Structure 1
Amino acid sequence: MNHNVDILTKEHMTMANLEEYDHPDLYDAENEGFDSDFAFIEKWAALMGGTVIDLACGTGRTTIPLAERGYPMIGIDIHEGMLERARHKSAQEHSDIRFELQNCEELNLDVKSSLIFMVGNGFQHFLTNESQDKLLDSVCKHLKESGIFIFNTRFPNKEELLAPAEEEYWKTYKDEQGKEIDVYTKSDYDALTQVQDYEISRRLKREDGTVQSVYQSRIKLRYTYPMEMERTLARHGLKVIELYGDWEENPPADSKPELIYVCQKEKECM
């Protein structure tokens, strides 16, 4: 009985952590123009060849332009709304992209790939050790021998984790109707779970600058330290062959905002 309760609780946590993505149009507008990871991913796609798997692909930000360059693509996401927008965006010229609604912890594909990637700090959505283990087990099972897994996470430096609890202005962008939206965030870090709880407030403005409406969402993100990450990856047959502090391939440092891991499958999964 307790085991069933645990399953329901974990499922509820997963779905609740997706509310940040319930408005795919806002997601695209908020992230418009971001492509600093694309050249890096394409370089590896060209090196490895064959079908490429994009985990937590969202609205196809990276999946679609890679398909435009001729790479066979499979995009996986757990959020139906994000996938619907990805399919709509790719429908006219790239209907051959295979988008699938799946939980990355329980991948069930009929192909193996030489390159699997997860960008946009998607790895941080896997909040527990068990969740990380399931993800990496799924990745390992779908990688060919000596295949490559690329992903990034925010660097858990003190500036990132000790952000003030009070609300801070983050950015302003325009929605599809050209209206400005101000974004504010506040966060609370739990050192025991290594999970940061973020509250995001998006304020749609009228032409005179007054607030017309407010949309609030929450998201929890797990922070994993580099030595901890290397050990976890090794348990799943994945060796870190490159580690960078940004997509320009500079070394990791406290001053860098993220960690980019390039891992190679060394052995079959357990």
Structure 2
Amino acid sequence: MSEQFYSDARLYDRLFPGGDQAADFYRAEADRQGGCVLELGCGTGHKLIPIASDGHPCMGLELSPDMLAEAQRKADERGVEVEWVQGDMREFDLGRTFDLVFIAANSLLHLHDAEDLVACFRSARRHLAPGARLVFDVFNPNVRMLAQADGVRRRRDALSYVDPDRGVVHVDVAETYDAAAQVTRGKWYFSTDSEADFVVAPLDIRSIFPQELPLLLSRGGLRVVERFGDWSRAPFTADAALQLCICEPD
């Protein structure tokens, strides 16, 4: 887990403001499945609040209380009712089932150990109603990019954003890749021209390779029924940036 990185929910939303294609995809999946929706690792509700606004009963589970508080504020602002629950996606019991369970925006990759991933899949499966599906997206690991994670601090211009109090915030990232653990270990530095490194936060993200993913799911009692390579539902290929998986109980 990388709790420190998610301790400032508004910083997170400014850093990652997009995701409209992903939100539209999950809204379409909710409409296709109908019924109740559960998002694991729901963050500040960027994807779940629009689904709730479409009329679906929704619940969001999130480990970070700060992220949940911001999600509640945003839902209240839009006049949307969502049930927010603090919990760990590895082990939870909500006492009910859902017609769609989804895990968006690489949230699954905060689970680094294979057993943690399997535990998450098992918990998700227990919450699937008859005919329900688990849907999630994770990046497709690029070995060349992983090999370039050399620990050198570099500016990520594409991640710069405007803070209403501080002005333009620049983001530097230094990463190394732990091949044995399949984890990219990073440190993110947030600075302005007048205030260097006002936030320094670790962020460790696992890689799940395409061949191991079905095996992990199988141990969790699930199987992949469809795997896409982008939000337009293009077929998954070796050079796809995304693994977008539709799963059902095995």
Contact 2:37 2:56 in 1 (8 A): yes
Determine the structure 2 residue equivalent to 1:247.
231
Partner Cα separation in structure 1 for residue 56 and residue 240 of structure 2: 30
- 1:127 alignment partner, one of 104, 109, 112: 112
Q: SS at the partner of 1:37?
A: helix
Which runs of structure 1 show a deviation greater than 6 angstroms over 4 or more consecutive aligned residues?
none
Q: Note closer, same or farther for the CA distance 1:202–1:229 as it changes in structure 2 (3 Å cut).
A: same
Deviation at 1:254, TM superposition (A): 4.1
**What letter corresponds to residue 175 of structure 2 in structure 1?**
S
Partner Cα separation in structure 1 for residue 64 and residue 243 of structure 2: 25
- Rg: which structure is higher? 1
Matched, 1:168 2:129: no
Q: Note closer, same or farther for the CA distance 1:254–1:181 as it changes in structure 2 (3 Å cut).
A: farther
Matched, 1:177 2:147: no
CA offsets per residue over residues 76-105 of structure 1, 9 Å max, x none?
000001001111111244453100001111
Number of residue pairs the alignment of both structures matches: 246
Determine the structure 2 residue equivalent to 1:194.
182
CA offsets per residue over residues 172-206 of structure 1, 9 Å max, x none?
11123371111111211111111110111111x2x
Q: Note closer, same or farther for the CA distance 1:175–1:255 as it changes in structure 2 (3 Å cut).
A: farther
- 1:212 alignment partner, one of 195, 201, 204: 195
Partner Cα separation in structure 1 for residue 80 and residue 207 of structure 2: 36
- 2:127 alignment partner, one of 139, 142, 165: 142
Partner Cα separation in structure 2 for residue 169 and residue 126 of structure 1: 27
Partner Cα separation in structure 2 for residue 164 and residue 228 of structure 1: 22
Partner Cα separation in structure 1 for residue 78 and residue 21 of structure 2: 24
Deviation at 1:109, TM superposition (A): 0.6
Partner Cα separation in structure 2 for residue 37 and residue 127 of structure 1: 23
Unmatched runs of 5 consecutive residues or more in structure 2: none
Contact 1:57 1:63 in 2 (8 A): yes
Partner Cα separation in structure 2 for residue 217 and residue 22 of structure 1: 10
Unmatched runs of 5 consecutive residues or more in structure 1: 1-13
Partner Cα separation in structure 2 for residue 61 and residue 202 of structure 1: 22
Contact 2:176 2:184 in 1 (8 A): yes
Partner Cα separation in structure 2 for residue 188 and residue 20 of structure 1: 17
Task: Map 1:89-100; keep pairs closer than 5 Å.
Answer: 89-94=74-79, 96-100=81-85
Task: Map 1:1-270; keep pairs closer than 5 Å.
Answer: 14=1, 17-94=2-79, 96-165=81-150, 166-170=152-156, 171-177=159-165, 179-203=167-191, 205=192, 210-214=193-197, 215-266=199-250
Partner Cα separation in structure 1 for residue 148 and residue 217 of structure 2: 28
Q: Note closer, same or farther for the CA distance 1:96–1:134 as it changes in structure 2 (3 Å cut).
A: same
Partner Cα separation in structure 1 for residue 168 and residue 66 of structure 2: 23
State percent identity of aligned pairs: 25
**What letter corresponds to residue 176 of structure 1 in structure 2?**
P
Partner Cα separation in structure 1 for residue 227 and residue 149 of structure 2: 29
Partner Cα separation in structure 2 for residue 177 and residue 72 of structure 1: 36
Partner Cα separation in structure 2 for residue 199 and residue 94 of structure 1: 37
Deviation at 1:38, TM superposition (A): 1.4
Q: Note closer, same or farther for the CA distance 1:53–1:156 as it changes in structure 2 (3 Å cut).
A: same
